Each structure stands twice: as structure tokens, then as C-alpha cells.
A and B are shown apart, each in its own frame.
Chain A
Amino acid sequence: MSAEDKIPVTVLTGYLGAGKTTLLNRILTEPHGKKFAVVVNEFGEVGIDNDLVVGADEEVFEMNNGCICCTVRGDLIRIIESLMKRKGRFDAIIVETTGLADPAPVAQTFFVDQDVAEKTRLDAVVTVVDAKWLSERLKDAPEARNQIAFADVLILNKTDLVTEDELAAVEALIRGINPYAKLHKTQRSAVPLDAVLGRNAFDLDRILDIEPDFLEPGHHHHHSDEIGSIAITVEGDINPEKFMPWINEFTQVRGPDLLRCKGILSFKNEPRRFVFQGVHMILDGDLQRDWREDETRQSKMVFIGRKLNRQDIEAAVEACRA
């Protein structure tokens, strides 16, 4: 099955009351002519405006593959297996998680389970954030931070409930955790559909550039246990024989702390760009298109996670120079 034939899956996360269900209903009721299968937590909110709504248990289990952070959603594997027996019934799947959920097991399900990966592809993790209450949430709920760090798309919602200064402050807070996700400021979760659907965020071919949407948060002083991001740019070529073993080992050893990573690399004597991306220990990488004449051959990568030490990572990458 080619990537285009696979059913895209959007994962919708966000802390309780942030506006997830509003966004979900907005997606479902827009006149797009698309049919969705929606997977919700069985104890979740009611009032979802769709024919096909499946209740899930949000049951997370560890894979017995020696990888301690490799958790998947068992119920999701079962639901998708059943859903995929009915072709033509829906064009896409939306998985809404509870406010307390860690997005990683949901995302990993689409890479780890062979049967699920054969028929579906993870399109993007979309996180809805409450502009008014985020700073409070970040103090008492580690899940809220996780959900922001993990996101490909961030919906900063309820902007009408805060002042401009407060909004700037909450945006800075979010960008301190995840400067790379696409951020949309909304009221009542009003966002164009193409901002959340059809993102292809996990498609190696779509890794075009790695530019923070916000000021490089290098000057922030994170508490070392907090989630943050580290971006590294290396001018000149990288030696794949040094880099590949390092990135493999790094993601294996630091997997539990490393939420997401992404990179575009210039390998010596290689006309094509090497791109990679990862979720915890799951790493995917391949040669992509050729470097263009007008492009500077440089290597950029970003790591989002907790307890990441900039000096150590920089030194390790520096040692991989060609």
C-alpha cells in the first residue's frame, strides 16, 4: 500500500477545557465533503457531531521489545483493525485523547504496530492550548507540557480571554517548550481546516526546513528537568559513518527523555539531503531530494525533550563532522 492510499490519522490533544471538542466539531461540520471516523475516550465528553464515533479505553501498554519508552495504545490497534475492514466508509481518522493523556503512545502505535502502519499513517499531532489557563496548568500538570512539546500543530485558543501582553507571555511560554510547531491563535477553536488536516508532519519528504517560528529560545534558562528544545546548525558536511551510530545510540539511550527530533543533514559527497525524524526511540531517516544550487549545504537538527544538555549534544554532533 502506498503512502497516498493510507488513511491519515490526526491526533487531537489538549488539556481539559482547552477547546478540543469545539475544534473536533468544527472539523466535522465544515462543508468539506470528507467523512471521518472519530475515536474518543469512552468516558469523554459527549456531543460529537459525527456518524462514526468509537469509544476507546486509552489503554497504554509497553512493547516487549526491550525498549522501555516504547508504549502503544492497545485499544487503538484493535479499533483500527476493525475500522479498516470497512473501506470507503471514511477518508480520515481523528483520535481525540483525554486531557491527561501522553500523546507518545498514540503516536507510536502508528509506527510500531505493523498492521496499523500498513493501513494508516499518522498525519499530525494537534494540541489545543488554553491561553488563559496555560501558565497555571504548566505548574501543576506535566501532561500539558508534554502535549505542547509533542505537537506538530498548536492551537492557542481562547485568545479573547486574555490581554495582548498576557497573550505574548503565553506564546513565549509555549515557544520555550516547542518553537517548531505551527502555531495558530484562535477564539472558539476557529482555524482553517488545512491548518490541522493533511499536514503530513511525519512524512520525510515534507521535512523542508527547520526554522523556529519564534526566537531561538537559547537565552531562556530552563530548569534542567523541564521540557525544552535544542537546535543545532553545523556549517559544512557531516560524516554519516560517525553520525548514524551516534544518533542511533543517542535515541536509544535518551529515548525516554527525548520526545521528538528532526533533522536535515548534508553528508559528504552525497548530492541528496538526508532527513530524519523520531518519536522517543523510534527513528526514521532517508535520503531525500537533491540539494539545490541556491541552498547552503548545512546540517540542522532539533531535539525536543527533557533534561537535554546543549553542550553535550553540540559536542557529539561536532564530533560527527566530515
Chain B
Amino acid sequence: MTTQAQTSLTQNVTALDGVDHVITAAFIGTHPVLVRADGRVEIITDGQTHSLTPHGGAPVLLGCVAGERLLTGGEDGKIIATSVDGSLTEIADNKGRWVDALVAGPSQSLAWSCGKSVFCRDGKGQIRTWEAPSSVRGLGFLPKGYRLAIAHYNGASLWFPNSEAKPESLDWKGSHLDLTVSPDGRFVVTSMQENTLHGWRLTDKKDMRMSGYPSKVRSLSWSHDGQWLATSGAEAAVIWPFKDKDGPMGKPPRECGVRPAKITQVAFHPKSLVLAIGYEDNCILLCRLTDAAELLVRRPVEGAGSITSMAWDGAGKRLIFGTSEGQAGLLTLP
């Protein structure tokens, strides 16, 4: 065999192609699942694809996994939980308002936003709401306590839904988009309209600016040990070190997977320092941080769009992905 064959996993990918934009590619438990923009949810069980329409005929805007269920927000304003057996549960009805952000939290909690309104639902179904100072784009639960970080215009807010206290504000001028909380709960990082990342160290609200991107950063992924944050938005995966007390301050990021195409999705392996990198030309590489070794998962296919979603299963044996033109696939590691 040639060297190329040894560095390629393309033979280990099963196609799950469809025609509609893949909003979310994920696993519910061990079952691969795809959420398509036309409103269909596809659950793959024993190699069979079961197609559901949780929102009736309405298109889906976003999706995320919450334990053993998939949550979707549709154009009908509803949030629906889908189980592997195909049973559907309506979680919320926002009366036709689009759900802009949706995130699952600890102990079966979840949070979502519509415009300025933020909703937090605990495991018992108790819903609390808060009106943010401006429209909300990104949400993230802190790992401890029932606390939500909310990205909006001119900063972020930290809200204890069960407390009457005013949310704590993290200020930084500009429009904050997606939000992520470090697994140890020490840092909150947002992506911004101006092609930068902004971070706060929560102990002292110290600001961190991570700039130099040629486009918006719309995918963020923490390594399993919480020491690295991988980001999309450039023609290399930009990986910031968060091991030290100061996070990435004053330290250059690592870069890997350099190709003449912009990265649209990143997903760290759940057990090792291996990063899955998806590009705007729908190519996918795996990159090992320790020695920068690369493995090809998917060759770019003309007209197949960009990688729009990518996720590992809990065991780190399989990777599911989808593109803006409806192509999708499942990698099973040898």
C-alpha cells in the first residue's frame, strides 16, 4: 500500500447524504442523528435511517443534544425534545418567535433565547425568564451551580436563574455572538462580529482579546482536558492554550490543519488531543496536537458546500458530520 492510504480514513466513512442543509450532526447516546433545515430529524439505528418531523412541516433553526434526547428549535417557535424511540415532547412554545440560541445544561436543565428574552428551564420543568439588555446570540451553562452565561451586545451576563439578584455583567463593547464556558468554569469566551474572540477570567473579570481571524469564529471546541480551545474562522485551526492561570494571555496559539480553505467547524476528540477539522470546501482532517500528524477523513467534493456541523460520540470511536448542501457521513475509527 502507498503512504497515502495509511494517512487516509476515507474508506471508514459511511455516507448519510440527503439534500437539505445539515443544521446539527450529533449522537443521542450511541445513535447518530442529523437535523436538517427543512425540519427533518434523521436517527440512525442499526444502519437504518428513521426520519421524523418534530415541528410538523416547519423548518428547524437549531438543534442540540441534551442527555438522551435531541432538542430542536423550529420556525414554529417551539422547542421539541426527540428521543431515540421517536417519541416527541414539546418543551416550550414561544408563539412563533424564532429561537435564536438553545443549550443543554446540567441535571436536565436547558436554556434558550428569543430576541432579548432568555428562558432557563430546570430539570423539574420550572422556567425562569430574564430580559437581556439587547438581543441574545450565545448561551452557555457554567459547569457548577445552576448558572447561565449569556452573550449579547456590549458584553455578556452571568445569571443565576433561581436568584432574584441582578445578573453579573461582563462588559466589552461590540456585538458578541457565540459563547462558550471553559470546562473548569474559569473562563467565558465569546466570538464577536468583528472577527475576534473575547474572553473573561471570571475570578477578576480580566479581559482577554484573541484576534487575527479573517472571518467570524462560529465554531469553538474545548479539548477533553479543558486545556485547549480550538476555533474556526481561519485557514488553519487556531488553538488557544488555557492551561495556565492567565489562560492564553501573552501566549501564541497553536495552528494546525493549514489548507487553502477556511475552517468552518472544529470538534475535539472526547478522550485525546485529536482535533477534527471541517472546512468550507467540505474537506475533513483529523489532526493530533502532540505531533501535528494529519489523517484525511473526507476529500473535498465540488458543489457539496461547507461542513456545517460535526460531533464525536462519547467513546470517541465515531465522528458524524454534515454539509450545507445536505451531504453527511459517519466515520468509524478502525
In-complex Cβ contact of B194 among A54, A65, A74, A75 (8 A): A65
Interchain CB contact under 8 A, B97 and A64? no
Interface string of A76-89 (1 = CB under 8 A from B): 01110010011100
B295 near A: Cβ within 8 Å? no
Interchain CB contact under 8 A, A114 and B116? no
Interchain CB contact under 8 A, A64 and B135? no
Closest residue of B by beta carbon distance from A52? B75
| Of A7-15, A55-63, A138-146, A279-287, the one with at least 4 CB within 8 A of chain B | A55-63
Interchain CB contact under 8 A, A64 and B137? no
B153 neighbours in A (Cβ, 8 Å): 59, 61, 74
A115 near B: Cβ within 8 Å? yes
Interchain CB contact under 8 A, A114 and B215? yes
A114 neighbours in B (Cβ, 8 Å): 215-216
CA distance A42 to B193 in the complex (A): 23
Interchain CB contact under 8 A, B135 and A59? yes
Interchain CB contact under 8 A, B174 and A85? no
Closest residue of A by beta carbon distance from B137? A78
CA distance A42 to B116 in the complex (A): 13
In-complex Cβ contact of B115 among A57, A77, A82, A86 (8 A): A57
Q: Report B175-206 residues with CB < 8 Å from chain A CB.
A: 175, 192-194
Interchain CB contact under 8 A, B97 and A55? yes
Interchain CB contact under 8 A, B134 and A85? no
Interchain CB contact under 8 A, B192 and A64? yes
Closest residue of B by beta carbon distance from A56? B115
B98 near A: Cβ within 8 Å? yes
B238 near A: Cβ within 8 Å? no
Closest residue of A by beta carbon distance from B62? A82
B61 near A: Cβ within 8 Å? yes
Interchain CB contact under 8 A, B173 and A64? yes
In-complex Cβ contact of B135 among A57, A72, A82 (8 A): A57
- Range class of the B interface residue count: 20 to 34
B313 near A: Cβ within 8 Å? no
Interchain CB contact under 8 A, A75 and B135? yes
A47 CB to closest chain B CB (Å) equals 15
Given A55-B97, A57-B115, A115-B216, CB of A64 within 8 Å of CB of B324: no
B21 near A: Cβ within 8 Å? yes
B23 neighbours in A (Cβ, 8 Å): 85
B115 neighbours in A (Cβ, 8 Å): 42, 57, 75
CA distance A42 to B96 in the complex (A): 11
Q: Report B34-69 residues with CB < 8 Å from chain A CB.
A: 37-38, 59, 61
Interchain CB contact under 8 A, A78 and B100? yes
CA distance A69 to B59 in the complex (A): 36
A311 CB to closest chain B CB (Å) equals 38
B20 neighbours in A (Cβ, 8 Å): 86
A75 neighbours in B (Cβ, 8 Å): 115, 135
CA distance A78 to B193 in the complex (A): 11
A58 CB to closest chain B CB (Å) equals 10
CA distance A87 to B38 in the complex (A): 9
Interchain CB contact under 8 A, A74 and B97? no
Interchain CB contact under 8 A, A59 and B37? no
B37 neighbours in A (Cβ, 8 Å): 85-86
Interchain CB contact under 8 A, A63 and B21? no
A72 neighbours in B (Cβ, 8 Å): 193
Given A57-B135, A74-B175, A85-B21, CB of A64 within 8 Å of CB of B61: no
Interchain CB contact under 8 A, A64 and B116? no
Interchain CB contact under 8 A, B21 and A64? no
B62 CB to closest chain A CB (Å) equals 8
CA distance A278 to B194 in the complex (A): 21
B234 CB to closest chain A CB (Å) equals 13
Given A59-B153, A61-B175, A64-B193, CB of A54 within 8 Å of CB of B98: yes
28 A-B pairs whose Cβ atoms sit less than 8 Å apart in the complex: A55-B96, A55-B97, A57-B115, A57-B135, A59-B134, A61-B134, A63-B174, A63-B175, A63-B194, A64-B192, A72-B193, A74-B134, A74-B135, A74-B137, A74-B153, A74-B175, A75-B115, A75-B135, A78-B137, A79-B98, A82-B98, A85-B324, A86-B20, A86-B21, A86-B38, A86-B59, A113-B193, A114-B216
Apart from A55-B98, A115-B215: 11 A-B pairs, beta carbons within 8 A: A42-B115, A55-B96, A55-B97, A61-B153, A63-B175, A63-B194, A72-B193, A77-B193, A86-B59, A87-B21, A113-B193
Closest 7 pairs (CB-CB, A-B): A64-B174, A85-B37, A85-B21, A64-B194, A59-B135, A57-B115, A86-B37
